[in-house]
Structure 1
Amino acid sequence: MLQQLLSNLTVVSILAVINSLLLVYYIIPKISWVIITRNLNEKPNERSSHKGATPTMAGVAFFITLILTLFFIQHFDTENIGLNLIASTTLIFMVGAKDDLVVSSPKAKLFMEALAVLFLFFHNALEGNNLYGFLGIYEIPLWLVYIASTLLVLTIINAYNLIDGIDGLASIIAIIIFSVFSLIFYAISLFFYYLICLSFIGMLLAYLFFNFSTKKKIFMGDTGSLLIGFCIAFLSLRFMAIDISMYSHFTFKPENGFFVLMAILCIPLFDLLRVIGVRLLQKKSPFYPDRNHSHHVLIDFGMSHFKATMLLGLINYLFVIFIIKLGTYLNSFQMLGVFVLAFGLFLLLFYRLKSSINTERLKIKEEKV
């Protein structure tokens, strides 16, 4: 009876969302209590958008919930990739927990993240070696697939990690990403990945309640952002590895699959490229911490955390719809031009906002003098 229940997609879909939501809602207060009791609160610094010490490591609840979810949805794991995902996410969880407690060096984190990717490569479901005409490229060597996949995963993990700077932003962006992926995987009957997306949506909805709270506030920490970023990267690899026959379920051309993926991840990726560019122009390390992130600029411009989060989330969501629609008509070379133009507009917008902020600060400073 129980096996029949857990093999019903509708039932499991509902349970994936509700169980994940309730589990995270139950576990987070326990984590907060431990963090506060042991005085492990995150202390604000010059880059922080918060004034008081706040509990962190809500990602512990995400990890526990993910492992339990993988157990209950194993019937739909037709590719038998669940164990690889457990091994990889366990490594990522360890890296995040260590970083939240004692801080890890960027090089150590990158090494462990790359090692986690290696566990995924023990399964051939992610070995997509055909780009279906993307910029004139079709099949590529398997060794190049491994290198490109590793770089893609590391980029996605750290891009997502860097947007976790204000209340709700990382959660809202992730909910949008998982929502789009859930529709894609449902359409092509990859229900295991679809259910993982639903589970994360449930987790993040519960987390938002605490993250936006004034009395029960908690941050996901690197424990959460690295785990979520890694799972987004995992789903991205599976999306890039889908067979061309599955593209009959989509309106966009197969050669534009990579651009659709970049649109799904546009806010984290655009922000990462912009921040690295600014730091290099200032002759600083790409890992140098500052307040040049898009969300910091919006907050410094006078927006509340909620408004800045909703604006960036809306931009991400609308850009996905825009690119999927264009991907039906344009080829990959034309789509590249669209992306260059979109990124240029993104740079221009935040350059203007940053200049306005600096001008206003200069006026205030001169008035004080």
Structure 2
Amino acid sequence: MLQQVLSNLTVVSILAVINSLLLVYYVIPKISWVIITRNLNEKPNERSSHKGATPTMAGVAFFITLIMTLFFIQYYDTEHIGLNLIASATLIFMVGVKDDLVVSSPKAKLFMEALAVLFLFFHNALESSNLNGFLGIFEIPLWFVYIASTILVLTIINAYNLIDGIDGLASIIAIIIFSVFALIFYSINLFFYYLVCLSFIGMLFAYLFFNFSTKNKIFMGDTGSLLIGFCIAFLSLRFMAIDVSLYSHFTFKPENGFFILMAILCIPLFDMLRVIGVRLLHNKSPFYPDRNHSHHVLIDFGMSHFKATMLLGFINYMFVILIIILGTFLNSFKMLAVFFIAFGLFLLLFYKLKRSINAARLKVVK
């Protein structure tokens, strides 16, 4: 009887969202109690957008929920990749826990993240040596696939980790990303990945209740942001490995698949590139912490956490729609030009905002 229930996609889809939401909603207060009791609250620094010490490590609830979800949706794991995901996610979870308790060096984090990617490479479902004509390129060597995939995963993990700076932003961006991926995987009958997306959507909606709360606030911490970033990267690899024959389900051209992925991840990626560029221009390390992130600029400009989050989420969502539309009739070379223009406008917007903020501060000093 239970097996029949779990083989019904509609029922499992509803359960994936509801169970994830309820489990995270139940576990987070327990985590908060432990953090507060052991005096492990995250204390604000000069970069923080918060004033008081706040519990963190809500990502523990995400990890527990992910493991439970993977058990219940194993019927749909036709590619048998669930164990690889569990092994990789466990490594990432360990890195996040350590970083939340005792700050890790960037090099140590990158090494462990790369090791986690290795566990994914033990499965060939994420391998694809065909770029489908992206910038005129078709077949590429398998060794290059592994290197490029590792760089892509590390970039996505850390780009997502960097946007976790104000209430709700990381969650809203992730909900948008998982929603788009869910639609894509559902349309091509990759239901295991679709259900993973639904589970994370349920988790993040539950987390938002606490993250926006004034009395029961908690942060996801690196435990959460690294895990979510890794799972987004995992889904990104599977998206890039979609067989070219399945592109008949989509309106956009196969050669534009990479640009669709970049659009889905646009806010984390654009923000990371912009921040690294600003730091290098000031002769600082790319890992140097500062308040140059897009969300910091919007907060300093006078926006509330909620408004800044909604604005960046809206930009991300609309850009995905725009790129999917353009991807139906533009080739990959023209799409590359579109991305350069879009990134240029993104840089210009936040340059103007930053100048306005600095000018206002100078007036106050005088």
Superposition TM-score tier, normalisation by shorter sequence: over 0.9
Partner letter of residue 294 of structure 2? Answer: S
Give the aligned partner of residue 285 of structure 1: 285
Shift of 1:76: 0.1
Question: How large is the RMSD of aligned CA atoms in angstroms?
Answer: 0.2
Cα distance between partner residues in 2 of 1:146 and 1:72:
30
Partner letter of residue 222 of structure 1? Answer: D
Shift of 1:50: 0.1
Unaligned runs of 5+ in 2: none
- Classify the secondary structure of the residue corresponding to 1:170: helix
Shift of 1:330: 0.1
Shift of 1:113: 0.1
Give the aligned partner of residue 204 of structure 2: 204
Give the aligned partner of residue 353 of structure 1: 353
Give the aligned partner of residue 159 of structure 2: 159
Shift of 1:273: 0.2
Partner letter of residue 236 of structure 1? Answer: S
Give the aligned partner of residue 270 of structure 2: 270
Give the aligned partner of residue 25 of structure 1: 25
Shift of 1:271: 0.1
Shift of 1:90: 0.1
Shift of 1:277: 0.2
Shift of 1:46: 0.1
- Classify the secondary structure of the residue corresponding to 2:70: helix
Give the aligned partner of residue 225 of structure 1: 225
Partner letter of residue 157 of structure 1? Answer: I
The number of residues matched between the two structures is 366
Partner letter of residue 146 of structure 1? Answer: Y
- Classify the secondary structure of the residue corresponding to 2:131: strand
Verify: 1:144 aligned to 2:144, yes or no.
Answer: yes
Cα distance between partner residues in 1 of 2:116 and 2:98:
15
Give the aligned partner of residue 56 of structure 1: 56
Partner letter of residue 50 of structure 2? Answer: H
Cα distance between partner residues in 2 of 1:365 and 1:241:
55
Cα distance between partner residues in 2 of 1:93 and 1:133:
36
Give the aligned partner of residue 86 of structure 1: 86
Give the aligned partner of residue 10 of structure 2: 10
Cα distance between partner residues in 2 of 1:277 and 1:48:
21
Partner letter of residue 138 of structure 1? Answer: F
Shift of 1:74: 0.1
Shift of 1:325: 0.2
Cα distance between partner residues in 1 of 2:43 and 2:222:
15
1:277-321 CA-partner distances (Å, limit 9, x unpaired): 000000000000000000000000000000000000000000000
Verify: 1:127 aligned to 2:140, yes or no.
Answer: no
Partner letter of residue 218 of structure 1? Answer: I
User: Percent identity among equivalent residues?
Assistant: 89
- Classify the secondary structure of the residue corresponding to 2:157: helix
Instruction: Please list, as runs of the form range in 1=range in 2, the aligned pairs for 1:161-180 lying within 5 A after superposition.
Output: 161-180=161-180
- Structure 1 residue ranges (4+ consecutive) displaced by more than 4 angstroms after TM superposition: none
Cα distance between partner residues in 2 of 1:245 and 1:137:
17
Shift of 1:179: 0.1
Cα distance between partner residues in 2 of 1:81 and 1:132:
24
Verify: 1:328 aligned to 2:328, yes or no.
Answer: yes
Cα distance between partner residues in 1 of 2:145 and 2:249:
25
Partner letter of residue 272 of structure 1? Answer: M
Shift of 1:114: 0.1
- Classify the secondary structure of the residue corresponding to 1:277: helix
Instruction: Please list, as runs of the form range in 1=range in 2, the aligned pairs for 1:224-263 lying within 5 A after superposition.
Output: 224-263=224-263
TM-score normalized by the length of structure 2: 1.00
TM-score normalized by the length of structure 1: 0.99
Unaligned runs of 5+ in 1: none
Give the aligned partner of residue 117 of structure 2: 117
Cα distance between partner residues in 1 of 2:282 and 2:184:
40
- Classify the secondary structure of the residue corresponding to 2:133: strand
